[in-house]
Amino acid sequence: MADSQIYARQLLVKRHGYPLWIPEPYGHSPIYRTKGVRIGDVGYVTQDGGFETLFNIRASPNDPINRRGVPNGFQEVHLHVHDVVHLPNFHHSNSAVTSTPAKQRSLDAGFSVTQAQTIVGAGAALEYVWSSTEGAILHLPKGASRITATKSVFREQAMRHAKNWYKFAFECSDVANGSLYLITGCDKTSSWMVGAFSDCSSGSQAILQLSVAGLLEGQLSYNYSWATSSPAIQRVGPSVDQTTARDEDPDALERDNDIFATDAPQGSNQCAFIRGYKITLRRDVLRRILGGPTTTIQISSIEDATEGDIRRNSFSSTAQSPAWYSKGNTKAVGDGRDSGGEWDEELGDDSPSDEGDIRLEELPGPCEDCHPSALINNFMLEKYPNAEVAITHDDDWIGLIDEDDRSWPTDDELLLRLQHRYSFSAHSMTFHSYLAHEF
């Protein structure tokens, strides 16, 4: 599992939203990097743990932030000041978000743990200790602010425009179905350290040591080191970026500051957590959007195949199936579940032959990140066969996590809690599903 996935899975249980392994502004224009992830961004979490913005629905189509263009039917959304809530110092200075269980202690005899968090002096140090096989930490030297927007207007936008958004996303980026995200809130900071470890042997400890070297030009200098033999990695930021918004149109920068005045509190453009709507399309809707031809080829399970078998990349429908072919192991493309030899009608009208013909289509595969909203969306699409789109907000799965959860629930447990605690609504006019109120 990638470092970004270990990190996200371990910190999801803290209920702040989806944790980004790369808090820095991810690519895009210099103007975008002045504030980074913004409310109204439509994009996706990359495989390496950053957030890639495709466009923003609060900016006009010709805004530099929308330099890739905008989808058909694009509607600009205007937020009022009271639509955005800003909580400064939601995460306090020199605080940390850690996976459970993690113990914190001061290494300096002159400071208690509480003092070390608030009155850090030269030479002071903190230590975080885990006695688990996996763990993660986000350290915030200067704390972080939380910004959150009213969700209702964004939910309507997601339901109304999801198909056009996905069509645009498929045209300009390599996006998986279920990965598209509409941002309604985030936690912003100006400096951070993210760390994660895995495969720590049972009975051993993973230890992260944090030392504060003191003041340098008014800034605290931090050093981080892992005192463990388990595979561990960390990132510290922000990194220096020589490209600034001065390279862009000053008038455009001024307009950007007017529209996104609350999206970078105290100039902080580093995004630790994102919150918003995850959007998933039904596969037949996806096929209609792409509008491409269907190609029928013959495939078989390679689970028990030899290297020589794999070189023989197909076998004719009239020939005898290879000995290693098992109908019970066939899988529908883009679906990680065993089909058990059953034909998936969503993939085509014709049934496969007994020799194992399977209809393949060039459809983007399912979202492969560990985001719980993707699991919930797939569940809702199964529950409502007529629904074209399913959307789930991060607040919905956050409501399924209990304060005494020390690790992330299994998929089965999460879906069980979902059905016990929530009701569901189907938008009757446009055939969308979304998660409704908690009982």
Secondary structure in 3-state letters for 2-22: CHHHHHHHHHHHHCCCEECCC
What string of DSSP letters covers 100-129? SS-EEEES-TT--HHHHHHS--TT-EEEEE
User: Among residues 186, 97, 78, 181, which one has the least CA distance to residue 139?
Assistant: 97
| 3-state SS class at 189 | strand
* CB of 37 closer than 8 Å to CB of 128: no
Q: How many CA atoms lie within 13 A of 349 on its CB side?
A: 1
Q: 353, exposed or middle or buried, with CB in 10 Å at 0-12, 13-18, 19+?
A: exposed
Amino acid at 23: P
With H, G, I as helix, E, B as strand and everything else as coil, classify residue 147: strand
Q: 179 CB contacts (<8 Å, ≥6 apart)?
A: 44, 45, 278, 367, 369, 374
Nearest CA to 143 out of 204, 211, 93 is that of 93
Tokens for 391?
């959307």
Residues sharing a CB contact under 8 Å with residue 242, sequence separation 6 or more, in sequence order: none
Rounded CA gap, 261 and 3, in Å?
33
Where is 169: in which H helix or E strand? helix 152-172
Distance set, CA 277 to CA 42, 57, 81, 147, 184 (Å): 9, 14, 21, 15, 8
Q: What is the pLDDT along the chain (439 residues), one digit of tens a residue?
A: 788 999 999 999 999 999 999 999 987 788 899 999 999 999 999 999 999 999 999 999 999 999 999 999 999 999 988 899 999 999 999 899 999 878 887 765 444 333 333 334 444 578 899 988 889 999 999 999 999 999 988 999 999 999 999 999 999 888 899 999 999 999 999 999 999 998 776 667 888 888 876 555 555 678 898 887 667 899 999 876 545 555 567 888 889 999 999 999 989 999 999 999 999 999 889 888 887 554 544 445 545 555 554 444 433 333 343 333 333 333 333 333 333 333 343 444 444 444 455 544 445 555 555 799 999 999 999 998 889 999 999 999 999 999 889 889 999 999 999 999 988 777 643 445 555 544 3
Give the Cα separation of 76 and 57 in Å (integer): 5
Distance CA 180, CA 169 (A): 8
In angstroms, the CA 145 to CA 89 distance is 5
Given a contact cutoff of 8 angstroms between Cβ atoms, the answer to whether 281 and 432 are in contact is no
Report the chain's terminal Cα–Cα distance, integer Å: 36
Please tell me the distance from the alpha carbon of residue 99 to that of residue 89, in angstroms, as a whole number: 21
> Taking the model in full, what pTM does it have?
0.79
